[in-house]
Amino acid sequence: MEFDPDATALLVVDMQNGFCHEEGSLYAPASEKAIASVKEVIESARSASAQVIYTRDVHPPEQFAEAHYYDEFERWGEHVLEGSWEAEIVEELEPHEGDHVVEKHTYDAFYNTELEGWLRARGISDLLLCGTLANVCVFHTAGSAGLRDFRPVVIEDALGYIEESHLKYAVEHSNWLFGEAVRKDEIGFEGQGN
């Protein structure tokens, strides 16, 4: 599967200390294990001059104080608080100059962020998605991308998850509902010869 690097962005979802480091409050071993695969995909995208975008899940401490229904702290406990070590992207995947970082406050990286306008202004129509958690922020962001007429392609072997069944669900439903699921070795970029 070949992608035009000028029209494609790699979206690295929430590879942060709070989720991927063993001292993080929502640490999942599979999220830490995904770091190596995500790094490989990032390096491939960079070598093709495709845009790399990171999302950071960040919560102000008072975000859910007056919530009617949507309260992530009630569901998950306090996590990735604004300004905390947990909210930082893991050291192994530190963004480079020219990468774009999107701060989000919900599962969906498009909700109340500049992401859609940023992509459209640059003529990006295809999104490769990797990161964590497969069935939460990756899944919701991929679905939201599809609804906005971007082509979401989930990289199934570069995803973090809590349980294997969550990964299976996210990949199958992403593929069925709104996009495609591929393995990282099935991705190529035009002009790269890979």
Q: What percent of the chain has pLDDT over 70?
A: 98
Contacts of 10 (CB under 8 A, 6+ apart): 41, 42, 45, 50, 51, 52, 53, 127, 128, 130
Residue 41 lies in a domain: yes
The catalytic position among 14, 57, 99, 157 is 14
87 strand-pairing partners:
none
Full residue range of the structural domain in which residue 18 is found: 2-189
> 161, 28 in Cβ contact below 8 A?
yes
The catalytic position among 57, 99, 130, 137 is 137
* Annotated catalytic residue 14: yes
Residue 160 lies in a domain: yes
Residue 194 lies in a domain: no
Residue 26 lies in a domain: yes
| pLDDT on residue 25 | 96
Query: Which portions of the chain are predicted below pLDDT 70?
Result: 193-194
How would you label 137-146 residue by residue, b for 16+ Cβ within 10 Å and e otherwise?
bbbbbbbbbb
CATH number of the domain to which 35 belongs: 3.40.50.850
| pLDDT on residue 178 | 78
The catalytic position among 20, 57, 99, 104 is 104
| pLDDT on residue 161 | 98
Gap between the Cα atoms of 54 and 49, Å rounded:
16
Residue 140 lies in a domain: yes
* Annotated catalytic residue 20: no
| pLDDT on residue 10 | 98
> For the chain, what is the domain count?
1
* Annotated catalytic residue 149: no
